[in-house]
Amino acid sequence: MVKKGAKLSKKIREKMSAAAKKRPRRKHSEETKKKIGFSNLGKKYSEEAKAKMRLAWVERKKIGVSEETRKKISIANTGKKLSKETKLKLRLSKLGDKNPNWKGDNVSLGALHTWIKKRKPKSKICERCKKNPTYDLANISQKYYRDINDFEWLCRGCHMNGDGRMNNLKQYG
């Protein structure tokens, strides 16, 4: 059209400015701008570049979120751990002398054994057969009541002999 450096004639300049004034601003609407923007993007960036940009954005977003979220999660976890521990402590403290919930919980069972052993001194001779040396503290009811009367010190033989123990239990009753 116009050669670079060439002076525009007054007429042409007037025409152009008139055309610019005539051109309705609204036609350069947001829609058009968007279209221009998109087409520019398309020209500037290849699909690969766009994908990379998208990824970078996602990564940035992820990091930004995770930093915040990590704190929140850690706080939440701390809260959970504390409440879990507290709950367990509460549960254990609330356990009566005859709570069968001890059974099946190895940690609790270990604690119960310790509790009983402190209160029920180990006898030298098996409480069942009164012959052999004691081997281990055994639960009588199999319900692991928190009661020293629900435990006895047995020799290995008596401890292993589950059936005999059940029969003996009946005799006990």
Q: How many angstroms from the chain centroid is the CA of residue 66?
A: 14
- The stretch among 2-10, 12-20, 23-31, 121-129 that binds Zn ion (CB under 5 A) is 121-129
Task: Find out whether 103 and 143 touch, Cβ atoms under 8 Å.
Answer: yes
Separation CA 104–CA 135 (nearest Å):
22
Cβ proximity to Zn ion: between 116 and 158 the closer is: 158
* Per-position x/- string for 45-84, each x denoting binding to Zn ion as judged by CB under 5 A, each - no binding: ----------------------------------------
Cβ proximity to Zn ion: between 58 and 169 the closer is: 169
Q: How many angstroms from the chain centroid is the CA of residue 132?
A: 51
Cβ proximity to Zn ion: between 101 and 161 the closer is: 161
Concatenating the DSSP letter of every residue in 59-117 gives: HHHHHHHHHHHHHHHHHHHHHHHHHHHHHHHHHHHH--TT-GGGTT-HHHHHHHHHHHH
What six digits make up the tokens of 87?
A: 């709950």
* Per-position x/- string for 125-154, each x denoting binding to Zn ion as judged by CB under 5 A, each - no binding: -x-xx--x----------------------
* Per-position x/- string for 12-31, each x denoting binding to Zn ion as judged by CB under 5 A, each - no binding: --------------------
The binding site for Zn ion (CB under 5 A) comprises 126, 128-129, 132, 155, 158
